[in-house]
Amino acid sequence: MTPIVVARREEAEIALAREIVALVQERHRVVIGLATGSTPVGVYRELARLRVQEDVDFGAVETFNLDEYLDLPSDHLQTFARWTREHFHAPLRISSERAHFIEAGIDGYEQLIQDAGGIDLQILGIGRNGHIAFNEPGSTRESRTREVELHPWTREDAAAAFGGLATVPHRAITMGVATILEARRLRVLAFGSRKAEIMKRVLEDAIGPEVPATFLREHRDLVLWLDREAAPKA
Ligand code: PGA
């Protein structure tokens, strides 16, 4: 897994948005796995811009969210369902029946993904502790969609958005490592100096559950973009 290191994160955001647009223009019905938060937001902003500028029709795109907090009211501002509706589905004019959200008690999420033909392209970030989605350290290669306890660093990193650590949920639901690795294309982004330490481990440590993002190295069609700050120093 050789990362592409870019001088500015916008270069990666534009490249990934362009790839998604090319797929959508070629096939129309494309199944996309969605990450949330500060890492992918620039890609979604660029997609919204391209929709208008190049008149791209995203109407046949189907999406599956990667993860979700548990124990929040469904209309809570910080749910990932709400976040992706605002930053992805609404600006790209994707109707609600094509948007799939992972939620408490969901049994059939993996089946729904299979029924849709599998995920064509999964957008993914990497946590400071090496998590992918909410597959925290200790998550195995075989893990599937399930409820998990959030790692202290994950809760800390979410504290600002929740107005303090006390109100950050302790539990979440997430696609598993195995689920993520089944996506046909994995497109991974990591930006900023706070990711540099973990990116060195993701690229160099033995593959295993201690740093779940190391499992990404087993995927055949993966592109990892880093900005200079996130790239391990030579
Ligand atoms: P971030 O997190 O977008 O807050 O950097 C990435 C992740 O945890 O996957």
What's the 26 CA to ligand 1 centre distance in angstroms? Answer: 30
Nearest atom, ligand 1, residue 125 CA? 9
Query: 29-41+51-227: which CATH number, 3.20.20.120, 3.30.1130.10, 3.40.50.300, 3.40.50.1360?
Result: 3.40.50.1360
Nearest CA to ligand 1 atom 5: 39
Q: Which 3 state secondary structure label does DSSP give 208?
A: coil
pLDDT digit string, tens, across residues 198-217: 999 999 999 999 999 999 99
Nearest atom, ligand 1, residue 126 CA? 9
- Cβ of 38 closer than 6 Å to ligand 1, yes or no, is yes
pLDDT digit string, tens, across residues 124-166: 999 999 999 999 999 999 999 999 999 999 999 999 999 999 9
B/e letters for 115-140, b = 16+ CB within 10 Å, e = fewer, are: ebeebbbbbbbbbbbbbbbbbbbebe
Q: Choose which residue among 126, 136, 175 to substitute to test ligand 1 binding: the one with the highest number of ligand atoms within 8 A of its C-beta.
A: 126
- Cβ of 193 closer than 6 Å to ligand 1, yes or no, is no
Catalytic residue check, 65 = no
Q: For the chain of 234 residues, list the mean pLDDT of each consecutive stretch of 10.
A: 95 98 96 96 98 97 98 89 97 97 86 97 98 98 97 96 95 98 98 97 98 98 98 86
Strands 31-34 and 67-69: unpaired
Marked catalytic residue, from 46, 120, 136, 227: 136
What's the 140 CA to ligand 1 centre distance in angstroms? Answer: 20
Q: Which 3 state secondary structure label does DSSP give 135?
A: strand
Which tokens is 148 given?
């998990």
Nearest atom, ligand 1, residue 190 CA? 5
pTM equals: 0.96
